[in-house]
Structure 1
Amino acid sequence: MTTAASISSKEMETLNNTPQARSEKDLDNSDIKREEAEEGTMVEQANDTEKQAPPPAVTFPDGGLQAWLVVLGAAIALFCSFGYVNAFGVYEAYYLSVLLPTRTPDDIAWIGSIQICFIFGSGLVAGSVFDRYGARIILIPASILLVTSVMLTSVCKEYYQFLLCQGILGGMCQGAIFTPAVGVIGQYFMKKRGAAMGLVVAGSSLGGVILPIMIANLIEKTSFGWTVRAIGFLFIGLLWITCVTVVERLPHRAGTFFLPEAFKDPVYCLLVAGNFFVLWGMFTPFFFIPTFALHLGMSNSMSVYLVSILNGLSFPGRVLPGIVADKFGRMNCIIIAPTVTGILIWSWLGVKTPAGLIVLTAFFGFWSGSSISLFPAVMAQIVPNPREMGTYIGMAMGISGAAGLTGSPIAGALLEKHGYTAAISFAGTCMIIGTFLLICARLIYNPKIFAIA
């Protein structure tokens, strides 16, 4: 595998010329500069001239065997992390009808919401650890613990046990796998970054297709415990590929653990806030479309397949927009995707038949996939130093964890007290606010409306 040693001297010069890298040298350089000023030498003038010259650009492979192996390993990481969460709608329906029938929909939704919260929240730490120490120091222990959490879920009986094993432990491990898998892509791709990120995030869609069907079929033929254990064995066979192939390309950064100066950038702040509201509303259909299908009179098996339809259509929705975004601007496309997604959520209010729900699920799957896949690509675009990419993405994901934690339970509580209209309205309103904030970020980044940004 290529390591940091493969970086050229010009690239190292660029990386070491960032504001953070220069600040780390200020103390040592101050004495030398003072002596040069006192002596009146020409060295200071030469240094000033050199400082004014722009540093050479960092190059990106944008392809090659190792780069595409990293994409493969990262896609597998998202298959086992977000792909597993995307299948939670199946768990929601099964817990309500079989394992935990005395619990309310918002009680069950807390399991998945806590899982989502920790996936995002653990990125706050995982992103900085990745930037400072590399990918494998996180991926290997997180993969082992994720398999452990799945195996423990298979023997759970009580509500609090599912919260601990599937929600907290599973979410923390999935977040520790998810963040470096997304952050490393920006070190290998520039021109094709949107397409590469789309392929990686499409791994979660593939998991959302395969895992619900796998769960539904195995539960009919065997017990819940052995169904979940089969998923654990599948993860064992997949995650070792991630641990081998996902490796950083750029040197590790030094300095502070977090990068609070990122929040001085209004574009970054608006992107984080916009993503927060988008995620706050977007997971409601993922969690409650299966129960809405049962409400319309569909069979339990068909409601499970709706989850697979949703995630199956999100596969092209995560790949194709990334390719388009590389040509027409990632900032532009990240506005279009949540706009259409929000319209589809509001359209949910008019669905009265199973056929209509199937059509809505298909369209929602495509456009929601676009919203998820484009955000990491946009974040990578605004990061000033590629070595800080994991930290920037991790801090954004950490803030978004609160949206993942509270969004679906709020929708579940509204569903229980006021029906589906209230839950859908909450999700749709969140999408409107999130889209508005993303538009503001785009206009600050580039005020020209029709520019490729």
Structure 2
Amino acid sequence: MDSIESKREAPEPVAGGVSPDVSEEATPTPSRVQPILVVVAGFLVMFTSTAVIFSFGVYQALYEAMAKEADTPFTGASSAMIGLIGTLAIALMSMAAPFVMTWIKVYPPRVVVMAGGVVFGVACVLASVSERLWQFVLTQGLLLGIGVCMAYIPAVTVSPTWFDRRRGLAMGLIIAGSALGGIVWPPVLRALIDAVGFRNALRICGCICCLCNVLAGAALRWEPRFYERQVRVQVRHLTPATGWYKVVPLVNWQVARTSKFAAQALGCFLQSAAYSTPLFFYASYAQALGYSGTAAANFITLSNASNFVSRILTGYMADHCGRINALLFTTFASTIAVLAFWLPSIVAQAHGSSLTGHALFFVFTILYGCFASAYISLFPASLIELFGVQNFTSVNGALYLVRGLGALVGTPLTGLLIPQATALTAPIAYERAAITVGVLLFAATVAIFWARVEVTLGGWKWKV
């Protein structure tokens, strides 16, 4: 097993002078197969619940089309209001992290993941019977986001504790599940919607994801020595009866007051504020270029096919070149993808160069899929490098809350820049949104560079 024991610091004593650490003999030695099972379980969580949320572009395009029809739940709704459904789901996937972080410390992570699967299924079923836009916001948005958070946060928090040298690769394999799911789910959802209607598609999707998360939850658990030395001491004042609503302090305030934390928090907020906008509007923008609804959904699949391969390769690269270096490079590359390909695609189409506009958008879809989503897999792996293993669980919850706030603010406000009346017919309607995404990603790149500088203030080193 690729243990992280070599990087752990001595635990703090607890009340009464009793150390939370235990001897090697007292701590059960896990099977060599367990790290593999953790990666497989994390992959399955990403393949189902997380991938479905990031495939919301299929529903975004459908609901926008329904907004132009009479007597539908979305009649007259703007693109921004419809986008709030998916935005809220993605935001809650991160914003609920402080609660979920406490739950997986007090209760077995598998219980939290299984409960998240049930919440996911219930959310989809409730959405399938909704009749008003606000009901979809509460079910397919808020409740679904909470359900995903209860599976996603344990997967990306528990898994790194099993690895050290191969942490980046392991997280790349896990997060690649959402990319593979992103390849599978958009055409499947589109086919289900065409065959049985979007309501039955929601029900089928909810049942499948519920079952998969329950199965995955059975394998997700803390690395035993990490749990004994780092986790138990943090929640020693909580009991199973009170742990479900009492949240441990979000972060060690000595860490939170550092410039390094400020840089990382700013970077993750800005990247999250920009990241989801293209994902939600791939299909809508493709329809504005003249593609059919089915063909437009294929751009979501193309993006996810690109990031399926890139997440694994990026994780491998991060282990050899440095996780923060990889985070900086991929964020900058995603900025270039937006400003050098998506924005010129819009301009070219507006000036009558249809073939150029289509080609540029095709390249943008591949590049953005390769690089923008890499942040998700590199982010948790980089936190141990930045703040140390002893602060990992505390910093992780706080920064995922920051990411959620970024998604909650960024995508809806950017969506307001897209005129609803021409969103499916005029590519130029996306010009201001593309500029905003590019600027936010560039600012995120600068913040990550700042964090990298902070890490090396004590002495320059290339691999960070």
TM-score range, shorter chain: 0.7 to 0.9
Q: Unpaired runs of 5+ in structure 2?
A: 19-23, 67-71, 236-247, 350-356, 421-427
Q: How does 1:46-445 map to 2 (within 5 A)?
A: 64-98=32-66, 99=72, 100-249=74-223, 250-251=227-228, 252-255=231-234, 257-258=248-249, 259-261=251-253, 262-347=255-340, 348-351=342-345, 352=349, 353-385=357-389, 388-416=391-419, 419-445=429-455
Counterpart Cα distance in 2 of 1:383 and 1:75 = 26
- Shift of residue 144, structure 1, vs aligned partner: 1.0
The answer to which structure has the higher helix fraction is 1
| 2:94–2:149 contact (8 Å) kept in structure 1 | yes
1:95 is matched by which residue type in structure 2?
A: Y
2:152 is matched by which residue type in structure 1?
A: F
SS of residue matched to 2:290: coil
| 1:128–1:390 contact (8 Å) kept in structure 2 | no
- Shift of residue 29, structure 1, vs aligned partner: 5.5
C-alpha offsets along residues 244-280 of structure 1, whole Å, 9 cap, x if unaligned? Answer: 1111122232246123323133323311210110111
1:72 is matched by which residue type in structure 2?
A: V
Counterpart Cα distance in 1 of 2:180 and 2:279 = 15
| 1:130–1:390 contact (8 Å) kept in structure 2 | no
SS of residue matched to 2:210: helix
Judged with a 3 Å threshold, the aligned counterparts in structure 2 of structure 1 residues 29 and 212 are, in CA distance, closer, same or farther, namely closer
SS of residue matched to 1:165: helix
- Shift of residue 381, structure 1, vs aligned partner: 2.5
Counterpart Cα distance in 2 of 1:139 and 1:196 = 19
| 2:252–2:394 contact (8 Å) kept in structure 1 | no
1:451 counterpart residue number: 462
> Could you state the TM-score of these two structures normalised by the residue count of structure 1?
0.85
Judged with a 3 Å threshold, the aligned counterparts in structure 2 of structure 1 residues 193 and 220 are, in CA distance, closer, same or farther, namely same
Counterpart Cα distance in 1 of 2:131 and 2:88 = 18
Judged with a 3 Å threshold, the aligned counterparts in structure 2 of structure 1 residues 255 and 232 are, in CA distance, closer, same or farther, namely closer
1:52 counterpart residue number: none
Which range moves more in the overlay, 218-227 or 112-121? 218-227
- Shift of residue 142, structure 1, vs aligned partner: 1.6
Judged with a 3 Å threshold, the aligned counterparts in structure 2 of structure 1 residues 128 and 268 are, in CA distance, closer, same or farther, namely farther
C-alpha offsets along residues 121-145 of structure 1, whole Å, 9 cap, x if unaligned? Answer: 0112112332343312321222111
Q: Unpaired runs of 5+ in structure 1?
A: 31-55
| 2:115–2:150 contact (8 Å) kept in structure 1 | no
- Shift of residue 115, structure 1, vs aligned partner: 0.8
C-alpha offsets along residues 179-236 of structure 1, whole Å, 9 cap, x if unaligned? Answer: 1110111210000000000111111111211111111111222221221111122113
Counterpart Cα distance in 1 of 2:396 and 2:105 = 11
SS of residue matched to 1:199: helix
RMSD: 2.7
C-alpha offsets along residues 406-429 of structure 1, whole Å, 9 cap, x if unaligned? Answer: 211111111128931211111111
Identity %: 24
| 2:111–2:217 contact (8 Å) kept in structure 1 | no
1:41 counterpart residue number: none
C-alpha offsets along residues 147-194 of structure 1, whole Å, 9 cap, x if unaligned? Answer: 111121222221011001011100011112111110111210000000
Counterpart Cα distance in 2 of 1:295 and 1:187 = 45
Judged with a 3 Å threshold, the aligned counterparts in structure 2 of structure 1 residues 306 and 63 are, in CA distance, closer, same or farther, namely farther
SS of residue matched to 1:419: helix
Q: How does 1:29-40 map to 2 (within 5 A)?
A: none
| 1:209–1:311 contact (8 Å) kept in structure 2 | yes
Judged with a 3 Å threshold, the aligned counterparts in structure 2 of structure 1 residues 245 and 324 are, in CA distance, closer, same or farther, namely same
- Shift of residue 349, structure 1, vs aligned partner: 1.1
1:365 is matched by which residue type in structure 2?
A: G
Counterpart Cα distance in 2 of 1:243 and 1:174 = 13
Aligned residues: 411
Structure possessing the higher radius of gyration over alpha carbons = 1
Counterpart Cα distance in 1 of 2:17 and 2:157 = 32
| 2:49–2:209 contact (8 Å) kept in structure 1 | no
| 1:330–1:378 contact (8 Å) kept in structure 2 | yes
